[in-house]
């Protein structure tokens, strides 16, 4: 995978964590401040694995796990603040609002949302730029990552 074109409907077959790393590196060049990355996929699909590969491209090397219970992990880089959120356990939009979710979005942040499909309209409304990746995994463990939404107009 040499160059990656961000286009809705594009699919990438990922056979291993090394290939996931290549994918993460390629997509990292397309991601900048003010972007939201929405991730969709069942438990075990590889949402967090993708984030763990992506974060070092921005200089963050200490991603431990999904913030399923804590909802958000925050990382400061030289260029921007990254919010890694997992909204699986959120019950409604009011709860998201009450934890200050809306404050994560802005020109100097990169927001990554695991389980974005639960509150997609709300997340998209808050986002300046939006990339959505849906991860499917087959019985052999081969992943397909599809760009299911893409909205990058400034
Ligand atoms: N592309 C991949 N190749 C091999 N193993 C993977 C891949 N993506 C994820 N995994 C493995 O699958 C398991 C579940 O992944 P995880 O990222 O925790 O899923 P999710 O966050 O979607 O629930 C982890 O052990 C992870 O290392
Ligand atoms: Mg996870």
Q: What is the pLDDT of residue 36?
A: 97
Distance from Cα 50 to the centre of ligand 2, integer Å: 9
- Predicted TM-score of the model (pTM): 0.94
Q: What is the pLDDT of residues 93-135, one digit of tens each?
A: 999 999 999 999 999 999 999 999 999 999 999 999 999 999 9
By most ligand atoms within 8 Å of CB, the mutation choice from 44, 68, 118 for ligand 1 is 44
Query: Which ligand 1 atom sits closest to the C-alpha of 86?
Result: 21
Q: Provide mean pLDDT across the span 11-29.
A: 96
Angle in degrees, 0-180, between the axes of helices 47-54 and 17-28, rounded to the nearest 10: 60
Backbone angles phi, psi at 147, to 5 degrees: -80, 100
Domain spans of the chain, in order of start: 11-151
pLDDT over threshold 80, residue 1: no
Q: What is the pLDDT of residue 64?
A: 65
Is CATH 3.40.50.300 correct for 11-151?
yes
Question: Is the shortest distance between the CB of 24 and ligand 1 below 6 Å?
Answer: no
CA dist 24 and 40 (Å) reads: 16
Residue 4's region, left for phi above 0, alpha for psi from -120 to 50, else beta, is: beta
């Amino acid at each position: 995978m040499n160059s990656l074109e961000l286009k809705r409907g594009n699919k990438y077959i990922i056979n291993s964590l090394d290939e996931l790393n290549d994918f993460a590196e390629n997509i990292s060049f397309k991601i900048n401040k003010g972007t939201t990355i929405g991730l969709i996929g069942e438990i075990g699909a590889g949402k967090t694995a993708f984030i763990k590969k992506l974060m070092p491209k921005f200089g963050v090397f200490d991603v431990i796990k999904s913030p399923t219970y804590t909802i958000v992990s925050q990382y400061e880089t030289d260029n921007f603040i990254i919010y890694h959120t997992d909204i699986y356990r959120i019950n409604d939009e009011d709860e998201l609002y009450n934890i200050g979710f809306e404050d994560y979005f802005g020109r100097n942040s990169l927001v990554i949302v695991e389980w974005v499909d639960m509150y997609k309209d709300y997340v998209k409304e808050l986002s300046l730029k939006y990339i959505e990746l849906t991860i499917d995994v087959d019985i052999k463990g081969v992943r397909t990552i599809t760009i299911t939404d893409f909205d990058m107009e400034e």
